A and B are shown apart, each in its own frame.
Chain A
Amino acid sequence: MTNVYVMEKIPEKIIIPLKQHDGCLCTPLVSKGDMVAMGQKIGECECYDSASIHSSVCGEVISIEEAANPNGTKVNSVIIQPTEDVECVDFTPVKDVSASKLVDVIKDAGIVEHYGTPTHKVLKPEGKQIDTVLINATSSEWIGGHYDTSAQYAFQMIGALKLLMKAAGASKGAVVLRNDDLESISAFDHLRVDGKLLTVAPLMGKRKLSYYFKDQGSDIIVVSQERIYGQKILDLLTYNLTGRRVSFCCDPTDVGVAICGVKSAKALYDAVHEGRPYIETVVSVSGKVNSPKKILVKIGTPFKDVIDACGGYMGDTGKLIANGAVTGVAQYTDDVPVTKMTTSITVLSADEVIRDVSIDCTHCARCVDVCPVDLIPSRITAFADQGRFDECRQMNILNCVECGRCSAVCPSKIHLLQLIRYAKNSIENAYEDLSSKESPANLKLGCGCSGGN
Chain B
Amino acid sequence: MTFTISAPPHKKENITFKKIMWAKVLALMPVVLLSVYLFGLPAIGLVAASIFAAIATEAAIQKAFGQKITIADGHAVLIGLMVAMIIPPEVPLWIPMIGTVFAVGIGKHAFGGIGSYIFNPVLAAWIFLSLAWGSIMAPASYPQTSVLFELVLENGAGVMAGVSPFFILLAGAVLIFRRYIEWRIPVAFFVTTVLLAFLLGDSLSYVVLGVVVFGVLFIATDTSTSPTTKNGRVIYGIVCGVLVVVYGHFANYVDGTFYGLFLANCVASLIDNNTLPASYGTETFLQRKYRSIVSKMPFKDRLEVFLDD
Interface residues of A (CB under 8 A from B): 72, 139, 205, 229, 236, 239, 245, 286, 313, 317-321, 324-334, 346, 348, 352-354, 356, 359-366, 368-369, 373-376, 378-379, 395-396, 399, 404-405, 407-413, 415, 417-418
Contact = CB atoms under 8 A, between A and B. Distances in A.
Contacts of A333: 3
Interface residues of B, number: 46
Nearest to A360: B115
A330 B280 contact: no
Q: Which 6 residue pairs spanning A and B have beta carbons closest together?
A: A374-B281, A404-B9, A360-B115, A364-B223, A365-B228, A330-B5
Given A374-B283, A407-B8, 5 more contacts: A72-B5, A325-B305, A334-B3, A374-B280, A376-B276
B227 to A, nearest CB: 8
6 contacts: A319-B5, A325-B11, A334-B3, A365-B182, A404-B9, A408-B303
Contacts of A327: 8-9, 309
Nearest to B17: A411
A49 B305 CA distance: 34
Nearest to A318: B4
A330 B10 contact: yes
B20 A411 contact: yes
Q: Is the interface of A mostly helix, strand, loop or mixed?
A: loop
B19 interface: yes
A407 B223 CA distance: 18
A405 B306 contact: yes
Contacts of A417: 7-9
B10 A325 contact: yes
B202 interface: no
Given A360-B116, A374-B280, A399-B280, A329 B8 contact: yes
B1 interface: yes
Contact of A326 (B10, B113, B279): B10
B115 A348 contact: no
B10 A317 contact: no
B282 to A, nearest CB: 8
B309 A139 contact: yes
A333 B227 CA distance: 44
A326 B309 contact: yes
Contact of A376 (B5, B277, B305, B306): B277
Contacts of B252: none
A365 B70 CA distance: 22
A376 B224 contact: no
Nearest to A333: B3
Contacts of B8: 321, 325-330, 404, 407, 417-418
A346 B277 contact: no
Given A378-B228, A399-B279, A411-B19, A319 B10 contact: yes
A363 B224 contact: yes
Interface string B11-27: 11101110110000000
Contacts of A236: 280
A184 to B, nearest CB: 17
Contacts of B13: 408-409
B217 to A, nearest CB: 15
B226 interface: yes
Contact of B277 (A334, A375, A407): A375
B223 A365 contact: yes
Contact of A365 (B233, B305, B309): B233
Contacts of A318: 3-4
A35 to B, nearest CB: 32
A332 B3 contact: yes
Given A365-B223, A408-B9, A376 B114 contact: no
A354 B280 CA distance: 31
Nearest to A284: B308
Given A286-B308, A326-B309, A360-B116, A368 B10 contact: no
B229 interface: yes
A360 B12 contact: no
Contacts of A368: 228-230
Nearest to A353: B4
Contacts of B7: 415, 417-418
Given A326-B9, A360-B115, A362-B17, A317 B1 contact: yes
B277 A408 contact: no
A204 to B, nearest CB: 10
B273 to A, nearest CB: 10
B267 to A, nearest CB: 15
A376 B3 contact: no
A378 B276 CA distance: 12
Interface in B287-309: 303, 305-306, 308-309
A324 B9 CA distance: 9
Interface in B46-70: 70
Contacts of A329: 8
B115 to A, nearest CB: 4
Contacts of B135: none
B76 to A, nearest CB: 14
Contacts of A326: 8-11, 305, 309
Contacts of A373: 280-281
A93 B10 CA distance: 43
A417 B12 CA distance: 12
B274 interface: no
A362 B224 contact: yes
Given A359-B114, A360-B113, A368-B229, A330 B279 contact: no
**Most chain B Cβ neighbours within 10 Å, of A72, A352, A353, A376:** A376
